[in-house]
Amino acid sequence: MQFCWNVRLISQKHIGIQSLFCLVLMAILLFSKLSVASTVDEVAQLRQIAQLAEYVGVDYASAVDNGQVINDDEYQEMLEFSQLIVDKTSSDNYVMHSLNEKASALQTAISTKQKVDTVRQFASELRISLLAMMPELPLPKRLLSKDATFSLFENNCASCHGLSGQGNGILASGLEPAPTDFTDKKRAENRSLLGLFDAISNGLDDTAMPAFTQLKEQQKWSLAFYVGSLAFQSSSEFIKPSQSISLQNWINYSPLKLSTETEGLTKNEIEGLRADPKLLFTNQSGPLAITKTQLAAASIAYKNEEYEKAKTLAVSAYLDGFELIENSLDARDKNLRKSIEGNLIKLRQVLSNAQQVNQLESLMEVTVRQLNDAEELLTETTLSNEALFTASLVILLREGLEAFWLYWL
């Protein structure tokens, strides 16, 4: 009897432990989901604080010199933004709270009109802490061609910043604070590409700088690289540095920060890469080459009866390849552009249906021949060797930030 009673107790205890385990597991899963949702909001907050910190570090020199206010409007903006940083880090959330001491030190330095180098040091330390807390962004694989990027700048930025980026656009005289002069080297040396990207993506509060939410990720990155290059001189004799640098660090930090803390890279090499970033993307293929490569892979997948994979590759052939040179081709031969686009649509339809190998091969042959014609046409009529090379720097991770949010949700 005693044995049976012990067995019953053990059994009941085991059931109790199982129930408790299930409850704990459910609680952990629920907490994890809440934590992830909170993390998404935190990342957005951290990105904005980092953007503000860099902006303050860069523009403080326009507000204070030798302990004296030299531009009252700029100084008031510095006070406002530093207070905003303190407010955003004053949350009970432990992530934000851990940054509050650095934010307060930055605010104190500004309010007491300390030296520019001191303010920049506090801003830099805060920003480095923020970057360490944030997941890494999906990075650009390629940039838009120089011509395409300049057209984008002309249509969206030049009215304020001027065609040459000197902050002297037709609307500039009525704006306070004045639009950024991207050719100001001292300022550019302290500006990261991530900061420029965030300003383009999110705008700047209490300034005339809007958020360009209508632009795609590759367009915003291309603009960031472009305006970030304007203060630096490229050289035809410049060669790729012997010491490589990760694209993540290249985007995250300013040229000045990189030149003082990156071993093996000289200041001239960093400035050369900033002026002409194509060497950061030398291993990438051009859009039309990508189109042909993806179509060939789609054909192989189709013949292996991997139909979903084939369709995905066919869509990539358009989005990551042909779409990126459509406008350039349209300006030279609209009929050829329409024909290729139509054949790409037909290919996607064929790849969606089994047992159409003969039709696929015939259509693929015609399409590849047209793509070769397009490549020859663009090369001969419009692109110098340098422009052709930069035309290959075209794709960013499509919808990168959106994919990032989906990953964390």
User: Mind listing the pLDDT tens digit for each residue in 210-230?
Assistant: 999 899 888 999 999 999 999
More confident residue, 361 or 388: 361
How high is the pLDDT of residue 239? 55
- Answer whether residue 23 shows pLDDT above 70: no
How high is the pLDDT of residue 108? 96
- pTM for the predicted model, two decimal places: 0.58
Kindly list the distances between the CA atom of residue 407 and the CA atoms of 33, 40, 134, 268, in Å, as whole numbers in the listed order.
12, 10, 14, 39
Question: Could you give the angle at which helices 357-381 and 287-303 cross, rounded to 10 degrees?
Answer: 170
Question: What whole-number percentage of the chain has pLDDT above 90?
Answer: 37
- Answer whether residue 261 shows pLDDT above 70: yes
Cα angle at 324 between 216 and 249, to 5 degrees? 55
How high is the pLDDT of residue 166? 96
| Mean pLDDT within 370-399 | 55
**pLDDT tens digits, 300-339:** 888 888 888 888 888 888 887 888 888 889 889 999 999 9
Question: What whole-number percentage of the chain has pLDDT above 70?
Answer: 78
| Mean pLDDT within 257-268 | 80
Class of domain 146-281 (CATH, top level): mainly alpha
How high is the pLDDT of residue 300? 86
Cβ atoms of 322 and 287 within 8 Å: the answer is yes
Residue with tokens 């040091």: 121
For 48, counting Cβ atoms within 10 Å of its Cβ (0-12 exposed, 13-18 middle, 19+ buried), the class is middle
| Mean pLDDT within 397-408 | 43
Q: Tokens in use for 19?
A: 């129930």
How high is the pLDDT of residue 304? 85
Q: Tokens in use for 190?
A: 């302290």
Q: Tokens in use for 86?
A: 């303190």
Q: What is the mean pLDDT of the chain?
A: 79
- Answer whether residue 36 shows pLDDT above 50: no
More confident residue, 22 or 140: 140
Cβ atoms of 400 and 217 within 8 Å: the answer is yes
